[in-house]
Chain A
Amino acid sequence: MIFAIIGILLGVVLGFLVPITYPPGFSLYISVAILAALDSVFGAFRASLEEKFDIEIFVSGFFGNTILAVALAYIGDKLGVPLYYAAIFAFGGRLFQNLAVIRRIAIHRLRIARGVSKTIAKNKAKN
Chain B
Amino acid sequence: MKNSRDKMIVGITVFFVSFMLIINIRNTEMDYDFIRLETVEAFNVEISDTKEEIEALEDYIEQKKYQIEEYQEALRDGTLEEVLASEVRKQKVNSHLTDLKGPGITVTLEDSDRELDEGEDPNNLIIHDLDVLNILNDLRRAGAEALAINGQRVTSQTQIKCQGATITVNDVTYGQPFVIEAIGDPDTLNAAINAPTSYAYILREYYELPVGSEIGDEILIKAFDREPALNYIEIQEGD
Contact = CB atoms under 8 A, between A and B. Distances in A.
Contacts of B20: 11, 15, 30, 33-34, 37
A48 B10 CA distance: 11
A30 B24 contact: yes
A96 interface: no
Interface stretch (B27-35, B88-96, B143-151, B188-196): B27-35
Contacts of A3: 7-8, 10-11, 14
Nearest to B7: A3
Given A21-B27, A34-B24, A8 B10 contact: no
Interface in B10-40: 10-24, 26-28, 30, 32
A27 to B, nearest CB: 6
A19 to B, nearest CB: 9
For chain B, give the interface size range.
20 to 34
Nearest to B34: A24
A83 interface: no
Interface string A63-101: 000000000000000000000000000000000000000
Interface in B25-64: 26-28, 30, 32
Contacts of A34: 17, 20-21, 24
B233 interface: no
A15 B23 CA distance: 5
B1 interface: yes
A41 B13 contact: yes
B234 interface: no
A13 B92 CA distance: 74
Contacts of A125: none
Nearest to A58: B10
Contacts of A18: 23
B10 A15 contact: no
B239 interface: no
Nearest to B10: A4
16 contacts: A4-B11, A7-B12, A10-B19, A11-B19, A11-B21, A12-B22, A15-B23, A16-B22, A30-B23, A30-B24, A30-B27, A34-B24, A41-B13, A41-B14, A55-B9, A62-B13
Interface of A: 2-4, 6-8, 10-12, 14-16, 18, 20-22, 24, 27, 30-31, 33-34, 37-38, 40-41, 44, 48, 53, 55, 58-59, 62
Q: Which 7 A-B pairs have the closest CB atoms?
A: A15-B22, A11-B18, A3-B11, A7-B15, A11-B19, A7-B11, A7-B14
